[in-house]
Structures are given as structure tokens and as C-alpha cells.
């Protein structure tokens, strides 16, 4: 399967702990995106990479959030000092450059902060 | 005002029915438009792009009205497997592709 993959699929953590999620995009895609989705809402944009460069960050991405894509392939999203409000599905998507911007999503990491 | 607005539904229809979803967007500079489908607790999957001239893919027809900032999706001959949430999506990026999602419209197709 050459789709977007994400690990772990589920994460339960206690408030105040740090968590890290990984995303492996479709291999020929140079653009990678992180979104967050809460119940009853559509996904909300968090950040965007073109190759290894992080080119855009949403205001939703507080100082506790950091994302990297060190070699322009996989990406990690870290949340420090988790809060209950961080509980959500974290979705990763990838796309080719140019075109209409079709993005393909991974299965997501569901985070529960207790 | 939300950037992308959709009726959350649910729309309850019998198999074989035709159903239409509508969506409005606020940013007139938006570049491209899509419908995604999302099953419960799964990731969104691209259903189709939406072109100004309108486009059709099997039982699905999408329309875009840029002047009214309005997007529609028509599903003909509904199947049980069409039951899902349909997300209206607008690309608002300038220089990159930032997708803005509506909250989704839930469709339930019953036997």
C-alpha cells in the first residue's frame, strides 16, 4: 500500500505529558500537511511543509506544538505538556506540487488526554 | 460567518433516491473546490474535484457557481454504501494549498 500512513493510530496520555506522532506521505508527494479534527467538525489546518521547509503555520498551532520534516520525507508532530483540549484526531495529508491541490489523507492518530 | 458553510443534516433517504447537498464559501479568491467523503471514525477521502463547468463521475454530479460562491453535489440512485458524511472543501491557499473544510453533511441511506 503506497498511501499516507500514520503512527500510532491511537494514543492515550495523561495531561502534562509530551506526545509525538509520525506521518509517512505518499512517496512521490513533496507537500505534507497536518490537520486536527474534533467531533462534529471538519478538519482544521495546522501546518504545511514543502519538502523539508515548514512554510505555513496556523494560529491554532500554539507554542506547545512543533512539527518537523527533517529530510523532506516523513514528518513528526509533537505536543508538549498536553491539555485535555488537545484531544482530537490528528490527520496528515500529502499532495504533489501544482495542480488543483488534491490532498490525500492518512488514517489519523486519535489522541485522548485524560 | 464560517468560511465554508454546510447543512449538517442528517439527510435520511431511501435507496434509489436522488439527494442534493449545498455549500457556500466566503472567500471569493478561493482557487479550487472539492467534495470529500468521510466515514465514521475514518479519514476524509477525495470524492471529486469541482469545476466551473460542472462535472460528473458516475452517479455523482458537482456544480460550482463562483458568482454566488456556491457549490453543490448531487447523488443519483443512492446506495446503502453512500451513507457517510460529505465534506465541502475549498482551497484558500495563495502559493500553497490550504484546504478549508465545512462541518460536513451527514447522509443516511436506508433500505
Q: How far A17 CA lies from chain B's nearest CA (Å)?
A: 25
Residues of A with CB under 8 A from a CB of B: 31, 33, 35, 40-45, 48, 50, 55-56, 91, 93, 95, 100-108, 110
Q: What percent of chain B has pLDDT over 90?
A: 77
**Burial level of A52, CB count in 10 A (0-12/13-18/19+)?**
middle
Tell me which residue of A67, A73, A24 sits closest to A45, measured CA to CA: A67
**A44 and A32 in contact (C-beta within 8 Å)?**
no
Query: If pLDDT is split at 50, 70 and 90, which confidence band does B94 have?
Result: low
Cβ within 8 Å, pair A102-B49: yes
**A20 and A78 in contact (C-beta within 8 Å)?**
yes
Segment A83-103 mean pLDDT = 90
Segment B80-97 mean pLDDT = 87
Backbone angles phi, psi at B38, to 5 degrees: -135, 120
The predicted structure's pLDDT at residue A97: 75
The predicted structure's pLDDT at residue A1: 53
Chain A interface includes B74 (CB < 8 A): no
Amino acid at each position: 500500500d503506497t498511501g499516507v500512513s500514520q503512527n500510532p493510530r491511537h494514543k492515550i496520555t495523561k495531561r502534562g505529558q509530551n506526545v509525538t506522532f509520525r506521518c509517512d506521505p505518499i512517496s512521490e508527494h513533496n507537500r505534507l500537511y497536518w490537520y486536527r479534527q474534533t467531533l462534529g467538525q471538519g478538519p482544521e489546518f495546522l501546518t504545511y511543509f514543502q519538502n523539508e521547509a515548514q512554510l505555513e503555520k496556523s494560529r491554532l498551532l500554539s507554542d506547545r506544538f512543533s512539527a518537523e520534516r527533517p529530510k523532506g520525507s516523513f514528518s513528526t508532530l509533537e505536543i508538549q505538556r498536553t491539555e485535555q483540549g488537545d484531544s482530537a484526531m490528528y490527520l496528515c495529508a500529502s499532495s504533489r506540487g501544482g495542480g488543483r491541490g488534491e490532498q490525500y489523507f492518512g488514517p489519523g492518530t486519535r489522541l485522548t488526554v485524560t | 460567518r464560517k468560511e465554508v458553510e454546510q447543512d449538517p443534516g442528517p439527510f435520511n433517504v431511501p435507496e434509489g433516491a436522488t439527494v442534493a447537498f449545498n455549500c457556500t464559501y466566503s472567500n471569493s479568491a478561493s482557487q479550487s473546490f472539492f467534495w470529500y467523503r468521510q466515514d465514521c471514525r475514518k479519514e476524509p477521502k477525495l470524492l471529486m474535484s469541482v469545476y466551473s463547468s460542472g462535472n460528473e463521475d458516475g452517479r455523482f454530479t458537482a456544480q460550482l457557481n463562483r458568482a454566488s460562491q456556491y457549490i453543490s453535489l448531487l447523488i443519483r440512485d443512492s446506495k446503502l454504501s453512500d451513507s457517510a458524511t460529505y465534506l465541502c472543501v475549498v482551497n484558500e491557499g495563495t502559493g500553497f494549498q490550504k484546504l478549508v473544510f465545512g462541518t460536513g453533511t451527514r447522509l443516511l441511506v436506508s433500505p
